[in-house]
Every structure is written in structure tokens, then in C-alpha cells.
Amino acid sequence: MSVTILYTIVTLSAIGVLAATILYLTAQKFKVYEDPRIDDVDEALPGANCGGCGYAGCRAFAEACVSKNELSDLFCPVGGNDCMTDIAGILGLEAIKKDPRVAVVRCNGTCENRPKTNTYDGAVSCAIASSLYGGDTNCSFGCLGCGDCVEVCDFDAIKMDPETGLPVVIDDKCVACGACVDACPRDLIELRRKMPKDRKIFVGCRNMDKGAAAKKACTVACIGCTKCAKECPFDAITIENNLAFIDSDKCKLCRKCVVVCPTNAIQELNFPPRKVKAEKPAAKVEAKPVAKKEKPAATNNEESTEPKN
């Protein structure tokens, strides 16, 4: 009996040693030299493999960092400045600083603001709906509501609001990888500079139709009246194709444009309620419900802060 056990031990050990030798030799033979710094950089990266940097994944980005030997056009939007400083530390290079960004949906065409004109019954995909026709409202620029952006988000940072039928970005989770920007066939999502306390001011509209047509399709459409551009003390607003655009790098959150906008197309989010002025737009809404149906900015504000805090 003991002989059997002995044999077993000897045979197994012999196989083990033999296999180990073969493995070692093969590993030596086919060894590929890899810069150990790639592993270090890879370690420092968030590992989300989202592709927000423009590379196929974190590993590819790490390889690019090491091989390029400079970081001027490399930036990981997920890790942000901290992560890039770490990488720069590992490689002994200078990292560029970028302001953190956050995705913003530039459409406020809720069911109330933008009445439906037909029913879409095709495959649930914005890309398909968009290539088929102008959408189920009269605005052929606005959100189609099929949720392509929600589907591509790897971070669960964008959700469909069942009440408005529009996507809502959850600021704390958004890493500005830009997947939703690419996914939106209407080009509604923009990466804007992250402001203190997640405050945002932006034109919530992409309708390039002439004012009257835009207004007819959606009560909160930008009609390109240029009032905001004239009001802005920082030259942050430009008008092109009947559409205002607020440059988030120039905007100082003074909120003057919000006040002058005749259609409430400019949205302000996450601001404390205005002491006096907040009442005014609300009063207007009640007075002329047809002309201005948009919820007052303050309410909007509360709604979107809720999930974050």
C-alpha cells in the first residue's frame, strides 16, 4: 500500500517538475519585453475602458502615454487632473490640466413644451428614428427619446425621465467620456465645463429653424432673437443658424441671459431659488399659459438636484 502511495507521489512530482520546466522554457523563449511603466500607468488609470480618451481602452491609453513620451494631447476624462498628475509622476512628464467637464442635454422638449404630432412605431433606437424622419413632434432637431445615450453610458450617468421623455444627466456619475455625445444622432449632448456646485447655464435647444417655426414646434425653443448675446457681459454667447450658444469656458454664471430670454430656452440648473426674480417668470407662466409653458427655472432646478443629493 505504502509503495502505491510512494509511486503516486513520485510520478506526480515528476510530472510537476517536467511541466514547470517546459513552462519556464517556453515563457523564456517567447518573452516579449514590455515597458514596466505601462503597467504602472495602467494601474493609475480608472480601468473603466470607456474609450473617452480616444483609445481602445485603458491599456491602449497607457501604452500611448509611455510611447509618446509627452502628455500634451493625452487626457483621461474619467480620472481627471488627479489621475493625469499621477501618470505624469510615473513618467516624469508634465501633464496638462483640463477643467472637468460634464454632459448636458440641450433639449427641453418635454411632452408639454413640444406637442406630439405623430406616433413612432419603429425599432427603439434614436439612430433609426432619426434616419427615418424628423421625429414625433414638429421639431426635427430635438430629442427623439429612444434612449441611445442611456444605452451607451457605461457609468449609469444618464437616465430617461419617464415624465418628460428626456434624458437626465446625473452629474456626480458623469465622467465626460463623450460616449453619449457620439451616440446622439441629433447632436444634443454637449460636454460643458463643470461649474461650482454643478451649476449650469446653457441653451436647452438645438432648433435651427427660423424663430416662428421653432416657436410653433416647441414653446421653449431658441428663436435666435439675439437678446441674450446682447445682454451677456462676457461675450460668451454666439448666435448661428437662428440658434444661441453659450460657451461654457467663457460663461461666468451671471444668469443675465436667463432673464432676458423670451422663450425660456436658456436653462439654469442647480442654482438657489432667486429671491425676487424667481417669482416673475412663474407669474408669467400662469398669465400666458399658451405662450410660455416651461416650468419656471426654479422648479426645474429642484427636480434635477433631487437625485444627486
Partner 1 sequence: MSKFLTISPSPHVKGEESVQKIMLWVILAMVPAMVWSFVVFGMGAIITTSVAILSCVFFEYAISRFILKTENSVGDLSAFLTGMLLAFNVPSSLPIWMIIIGALVAIGIGKLSFGGLGNNPFNPALVGRVFLLISFPVDMTSWPVNNNSGVDGVTGATPLGLVKEAISSGTPISQLTDQVPSNMDLFFGNIGGSLGEISAIALILGALFMLYKKVITWHIPVSILGTMFVFAGLLWTVDSEQFMNPMFHLLTGGAMLGALYMATDMVTSPMTPKGQLIYGIGIGIITISIRVFGAYPEGISFAILIMNAVTPLLNRYCKPKDFGRRAK
Partner 2 sequence: MLKTFKIGGVHPAENKFSAGKQIETLPIPDMVTVPIAQHIGAPSTPVVKKGDEVKVGQLLAQSAGFVSANIHSPVSGKVFKIDDVLDSSGYKKKAIIIKVEGDEWEETIDRSTDLVKQTDLSPKEIVDRVAQSGIVGLGGATFPTHVKLAVPQGMTAEMLLINAVECEPYLTADHQLMMEKGAEIMVGIDLLMKAIGVKKAIIGIENNKPDAIKHLSQLAKEYAGVEVCALKVQYPQGGEKQLINAATGREVPSGALPISVGCVVNNVGTAYAVYEAVMKNKPLFERVVTVTGKSVSKPSNFMARVGMSVSQLVEAAGGLPEDTGKVISGGPMMGKALVTTDVPVTKGTSGVLIMREEEATRRTMKNCIRCAKCVSACPMGLEPYLLMTYAEKKMWEESEDSFVMDCIECGSCSYTCPADRPLLDYIRLGKGTVGQIMRSRKK
Residue 209 touches which of partner 1, partner 2, none (Cβ within 5-8 Å per kind): partner 2
How many whole angstroms separate alpha carbon 151 and alpha carbon 282?
Answer: 35
Residue closer to partner 1 (CB basis): 71 or 127: 127
- Contact string 57-96 vs partner 1 (x = CB under 8 A): ----------------------------------------
| β 200-203/237-240 pair status | unpaired
Q: With binding defined as CB under 8 A, does residue 118 bind partner 1?
A: yes
Contact residues: partner 2, CB under 8 A: 117-118, 121-123, 125, 127-128, 131-135, 138, 140, 209, 213
Residue 285 touches which of partner 2, partner 1, none (Cβ within 5-8 Å per kind): none
How many whole angstroms separate alpha carbon 214 and alpha carbon 138?
Answer: 8
DSSP assigned state of 65: H
Q: With binding defined as CB under 8 A, does residue 130 bind partner 1?
A: no
In the bound complex, what is the minimum distance in angstroms from residue 10's beta carbon to partner 1? 34
Residue closer to partner 2 (CB basis): 144 or 195: 144
Q: At residue 2, what is the residue type?
A: S
CA distances from 122 to 132, 147, 150, 207 (A): 9, 14, 18, 24
DSSP string, 66-112: HHH--BTT---TTTHHHHHHHHHHHHT-PBPP---EEEEE-----TT
Q: State whether residue 163 is helix, strand or coil.
A: coil
In the bound complex, what is the minimum distance in angstroms from residue 129's beta carbon to partner 1? 9
Residue 51 touches which of partner 1, partner 2, none (Cβ within 5-8 Å per kind): none
In the bound complex, what is the minimum distance in angstroms from residue 135's beta carbon to partner 2? 6
Angle at 107 between CA 103 and CA 110, to 5 degrees: 125
In the bound complex, what is the minimum distance in angstroms from residue 91's beta carbon to partner 1? 43
Residue closer to partner 1 (CB basis): 128 or 168: 128
Give the DSSP H/E element, type plus range, for residue 247.
none
In the bound complex, what is the minimum distance in angstroms from residue 126's beta carbon to partner 1? 13
> Which residue of 132, 252, 307, 308 would you call a contact of partner 1, by CB under 8 A?
132
How many whole angstroms separate alpha carbon 47 and alpha carbon 59?
Answer: 8
- Determine phi and psi for 49, rounding to 5 degrees: 50, 40
Q: Which residues contribute to the site for partner 1 (CB under 8 A)? A: 116-123, 128, 132-133, 136
